[in-house]
Amino acid sequence: MVTVRGMDFTMGDAAAGLRGELRELIGAQVPDGFLGAFTDEPADLATAQRFCGVLAERGLLCAAWPQRHGGRGSSVWEQTVVREEMWAHHEPRGAQYMGVNWVGPAIMRHGSAEQQREHLPPIAGGEVIWCQGFSEPDAGSDLASLRTSARRVGDGWRISGQKIWTSYATMAQWCFLLARTSDRDRKQQGLTVFLLPMSAPGIEVRPIRSMLGPHHLNEVFFDDVPAEAADVLGRVDEGWSVVREVLAFERVGIARYARCERLLQLAPTVIGERWETMPAALRSRWARMLIRARRARLLAYQVLATQSAGAVAPGDVAAYRIAVTRLDQESAALLSELAADVPDEQGARRHFRRAVDDHWRYANAATVASGSIEMQQILLARALLFGTRRAGVPA
């Protein structure tokens, strides 16, 4: 039973059983010390690809998807359990969360029957990687200012422009691309979503080195890239409504609070008997941070409950993003202090130090990932000041 107004989120026995099943799978299939697929060690990516196959065989990769699309018809709360356990254990699905969390659902809601047949089974099977062609050098937080254009040529299109910060572009087979198809009075109008194969002629990918490791950041150039009418998702010139929905799902799709909470809970165990002799102020900060992690979890659940009722609340999503990003960064700073007192020796202690370092790097990147904090503050202010209604809910 899950209610919104009273904040009474009890997931039930099915979700609890699923959490146990996932932890058993991770323990059996993912090596100790795994810190994600995107390292300089090729075996880490191979681990993620293999693990995706294991999840897919059990219908767990896309648990909440209908069975006809490769899921097992689970509730949004069971899918949330999957998200939490994956992120808490350094995302052993690799790059699949993008296709699972919002590309697939967007195709279910807006795609043609042919697009659904082509794209949904490979996503549910963990066989395909998607990248997101949104941000540009002069259109990041202000995404609607993008300049990548698609012009009509016969029955199809030709796409030219540049995207930046495109995660997984070096490994992706498909791109969820937003391009301008006409000039309108409002910049949010005249935009269209294309489902574009990365093998199309005219696409060039240039990696951008960063502290997050390989595959995360790339530039993508489109030089007169051909696209067909069948590659358009939804209606021509009405892509902004699709993207608004996508961004709301993307911003709650990563359960960042779950990794924060897991690492915070591990700290006393790893530090051991010295925990009781550590400064009281430091342990007090640890306790407050753990409370904040659980508060962020409840904010996420509130947004998910609203979305599962058929609505998207921009203000609620923005509030969650602000809370979880600050949690990410401040918990990373605290954990770094705690980890400094952990001996750098083999086994669980060394893994904890490495996991905290990995958490710190991702937490710093979270400031701008999926929309900068400043833009989230603007969205929240608009919702509070002007009563922005929930998308999908009649006024």
Question: CA–CA distance from 340 to each of 175, 294, 347, 353, 356 (Å)?
Answer: 41, 25, 16, 8, 10
Check residue 13 and give its pLDDT. 82
Check residue 126 and give its pLDDT. 93
Give the pLDDT confidence of 320-360 residue by residue, as tens digits.
888 888 999 999 999 999 998 777 666 678 889 999 998 98
Final residue of a domain: which of 214, 242, 270?
Answer: 242
CATH number at residue 197: 2.40.110.10
Check residue 323 and give its pLDDT. 87
Q: Which residue has the higher pLDDT, 363 or 205?
A: 205
Pair 139, 210 in one domain:
yes
Pair 266, 225 in one domain:
no
Check residue 281 and give its pLDDT. 94
**Domain assignment of residue 19, given as a range:** 13-94
Pair 226, 274 in one domain:
no
Q: DSSP string spanning 332-348?
A: HHHHHHHHTTS---TTH
Pair 235, 199 in one domain:
yes
Check residue 249 and give its pLDDT. 63
Residue 394 lies in a domain: no
Check residue 385 and give its pLDDT. 81
DSSP 60: -
91, 136, 250, 261: the active-site residue: 250
Pair 318, 382 in one domain:
yes
Pair 361, 264 in one domain:
yes
Final residue of a domain: which of 44, 71, 94?
Answer: 94
Residue 311 lies in a domain: yes
Final residue of a domain: which of 94, 122, 150?
Answer: 94
Residue 102 lies in a domain: no
Q: Quick one: tokens of 376?
A: 């989230």
CB 47 within 8 Å of CB 34 = yes
Question: CA–CA distance from 186 to each of 149, 190, 191 (Å)?
Answer: 16, 8, 10
- Residue 1 clears pLDDT 50, i.e. is over it: no
CATH number at residue 332: 1.20.140.10
Give the pLDDT confidence of 179-216 residue by residue, as tens digits.
999 987 788 899 999 999 999 999 999 999 877 767 77
Q: Mean pLDDT, the chain, as a whole number?
A: 86
- Residue 388 clears pLDDT 60, i.e. is over it: no
Pair 264, 165 in one domain:
no
Residue 247 lies in a domain: no
79's CB contacts (< 8 A; 6+ apart) are 62, 63, 64
**CA–CA distance, 56 with 97 (Å, rounded to integer):** 13
Pair 263, 314 in one domain:
yes
Residue 296 lies in a domain: yes
Residue 137 lies in a domain: yes
Q: What are residue 123's phi and psi, to 5 degrees?
A: -65, -50
Check residue 199 and give its pLDDT. 97
CB 240 within 8 Å of CB 188 = yes
Pair 265, 235 in one domain:
no
| Domain count of the fold of the chain | 3
Residue 119 lies in a domain: no
Count Cα atoms within 13 angstroms, Cβ side, for 234: 25
pTM: 0.83
**CA–CA distance, 37 with 298 (Å, rounded to integer):** 28
**CA–CA distance, 85 with 55 (Å, rounded to integer):** 13
- Residue 78 clears pLDDT 70, i.e. is over it: yes
154's CB contacts (< 8 A; 6+ apart) are none
Pair 259, 381 in one domain:
yes
Q: Which residue has the higher pLDDT, 220 or 138?
A: 220
Catalytic status, residue 250? yes
Residue 235 lies in a domain: yes
Beta bridge partners of 313: none
**CA–CA distance, 387 with 380 (Å, rounded to integer):** 10
Q: What are residue 357's phi and psi, to 5 degrees?
A: -60, -40
Pair 236, 173 in one domain:
yes
Pair 229, 289 in one domain:
no
- Tokens 């030089």 label which residue? 223
Other Cβ atoms less than 10 A from the Cβ of 224: the count is 11
Give the pLDDT confidence of 281-316 residue by residue, as tens digits.
999 999 999 999 999 999 888 888 877 776 666 777
Helix extents (H) in the chain: 13-29, 42-57, 76-88, 96-98, 104-110, 113-124, 239-253, 256-271, 280-308, 314-339, 348-365, 373-386
Q: Which residue has the higher pLDDT, 306 or 30?
A: 30
